[in-house]
Structure 1
Amino acid sequence: MILVIDIGNTSIKLSVMDHLNVYKLIRSDVSTFTNEILNLKQVYPDIKEVAYCNVGDFPYELKEFLKVNFEVVFEINHQIKLPFNNRYESLTLGNDRIALVAGGLFTEGNNTPLLVIDAGTCVTYDFIDSDKNYFGGAISPGLQLRYQSLHNFTENLPLLKPQPTKNITGYNTETSIHSGVVLGMTLELKGAIKQYRKAHKDLKVLITGGDSELLVKQLKNRFFATPFLMLYGIYNLYLFNKNL
């Protein structure tokens, strides 16, 4: 077992896991991070290794804290070896997208084209073909950003929380917003998947992220949410580099 840390835009996930199981999952933030780590070390004193992926605010002193408390600290970055061929034509590929692709390969194997959709603060689409070539994908605003934009950039629209909806025609302000945001996102997902499947008929689709459960329901059970995809990606990138 090792400690896997996913440092996102809105929270920090701490997970004790191995290649088969997630034994403990804790949501933290910068203010509670050190205490949560020390508590985990008391429960799992034999854990000496930590692997983490950082896309959010993670101060230098917390990185140093990990180095003091663990024998091995592995960070996802652009210098590590990858279990796929990176064809992305930019040096700004996010570490989280690297981990998601690795998690997708671990989940579905290496011989099928794969589309990984992460429905978080942003919605990211990442495509890898059957020869393990990663080409990129797309980035669009997530559900929360769409709701917040309507509220922040208009005078009178309220800030709502995401909720499932079946009504394409809203009958008041609130239902109109839910229709525009949630059904709009659902149609975006369906359209993207349809376009990829035109070119790759045996495409596998994985949906993960904080809003994945809601969106999978909107897609009418054609897909399944994969909540630990990022964590397994971080874990397997660590193993891949450890064993080289």
Structure 2
Amino acid sequence: MNLIIDQGNTVCKVAIATEEELVQCYTFPHLSLRDAGQILSAHPSLEAAIYSSVARVDKPLLGLLSERLPSVVMVDEHTAVPLEVEYDRKRLGSDRLAAVVGAYSLAPRERELLIVDSGTAITFERVTSSGTYLGGNISPGLYTRLKALNHFTSRLPLLSDLKDTSLGYGTTTQEALSRGALRGLIYEVDGYIRSLRSLHPEAVVYLTGGDAQMIQELLEEDVYVEPNLVLFGLNKILEYNK
């Protein structure tokens, strides 16, 4: 059994996995040593772990994992992955790489891929039908857009809870902000997908991240939603490095 740890910008996701699938998932604001110890004790069959962080590396946590498990992989620019990578690995977030590996592992062979991860930032990653990760783009996520409008203006309020998912025109400032940010993001995602499918009509698109389900319901283009794509990809990377 494998222990998968993904420390993101806002939460830490943890999974227990077999070679092929995730069997149990947890979410923490931050994975403390106590939390990690309890997970390790609750799953004595664990034999390996993989650790990914877009923030600072938690050295005490890595030390605990190394003490308790025979094999621990920390994802960095040297970690082997099952596809060719043209992006600069020194500057590539491990969560982005894991999402790419996860989608590549799930998708039918010889299909062009687009992976969209929507959270604090929204990322667009391209993988060719021959298994080459060409690179990707980074754009502000939905709530990052709303925070920027509040921060860089004098009177626009900060919207912390987006309950209005209409794409129409707002009749209040709150509606104008929420609908404007959301409509812009939806058009952006649909635009990327249409651009790819104009060249490769059979291209497969995977959508993940905290806003994935809401975005999928508003898109005109068809996509697959995989909420745990990064965790799944990390598990594939761990298996590849055994």
TM-score range normalised by the length of the shorter chain:
over 0.9
Per the alignment, residue 206 of structure 1 pairs with: 206
The equivalent of 1:76 in structure 2 is: 75
How far 1:89 moved relative to its partner?
5.2
1:190-244: per-residue Cα shift (whole Å, max 9, x none)? 11111111122211000001110111111158333211110110000111121xx
Query: RMSD across aligned C-alpha pairs, in angstroms?
Result: 1.7
User: Given the superposition, is the C-alpha separation of residues 38 and 27 from structure 1 closer, same or farther in structure 2, using an over 3 Å criterion?
Assistant: same
Taking the TM superposition and a 5 Å limit, the aligned residue runs for 1:31-70 are 32-70=31-69
Secondary structure in 1 matching 2:156: coil
SS in 1 for 2:241: helix
Q: Distance in 2 between matches of 1:71 and 1:23?
A: 21
Partners in 1 of 2:127 and 2:201 — Cα distance? 14
SS of residue paired to 2:139: strand
Aligned residues: 241
Deviations for 1:21-60, whole angstroms, at most 9, x for unmatched residues?
3222111234x52122122123211212111211123332
Structure 1 residue ranges, 4+ long, deviating more than 3 angstroms after superposition = none
Partner of 1:165: 165
Work out whether residues 98 and 237 of structure 2, in 8 Å CA contact, stay in contact via their aligned partners in 1: yes
- CA offsets 1:139-174 (integer angstroms, 9 cap, x no match): 000011111111122222221123452242111011
Per the alignment, in what secondary structure is the counterpart of residue 225 of structure 2?
coil
Task: Give, in whole Å, the separation in 2 of the partners of 1:90 and 1:72.
Answer: 23
Distance 1:96 1:25 in 2: 16
Give 1:84 deviation, angstroms: 1.0
Query: Deviation at 1:20?
Result: 4.1
Give 3-state SS (helix, strand or coil) of 1:111's partner. coil
Partner of 2:231: 231
Q: Is the 8 A contact 1:9 1:57 kept in 2?
A: no
Q: In the alignment, which residue of structure 2 is the partner of 1:145?
A: 144
Q: 1:109 to 1:53 in 2, by over 3 A?
A: farther
Aligned to 1:83, what secondary structure does the other structure show?
A: coil
Unaligned 5+ segments in structure 1 are: none
Deviation at 1:9, TM superposition (A): 0.9
Map of 2:134 onto structure 1: 135
Q: Which amino acid aligns with 1:78?
A: E
- 1:100·1:230 contact (CA, 8 Å) conserved in 2? yes
2:180 counterpart residue number: 180
Which amino acid letter does the alignment assign opposite residue 60 of structure 1? K
In structure 1, distance between residues paired with 2:146 and 2:57: 26
Identity of aligned residues (%): 28
Determine if contact 2:2/2:19 at 8 Å carries over to the other structure: no
Question: Amino acid of the residue matched to residue 156 of structure 1?
Answer: R
Q: Give secondary structure in 1 for the equivalent of 2:205.
A: strand
Where 2:45 maps in the other structure, the secondary structure is coil
In structure 2, the CA distance between the partners of 1:20 and 1:240, relative to structure 1 (3 Å rule), is closer
Unaligned runs of 5+ in 2: none
Q: What SS does the aligned partner of 2:136 have? A: strand
Query: Secondary structure of the residue that 1:157 maps to in structure 2?
Result: coil
Residue 91 of structure 2 aligns to a residue whose secondary structure is: coil
Aligned to 1:216: 216
Contact 2:164 2:175 in 1 (8 A): no
Name which of structure 1's ranges 59-68 and 167-176 shifts more when overlaid on structure 2: 59-68
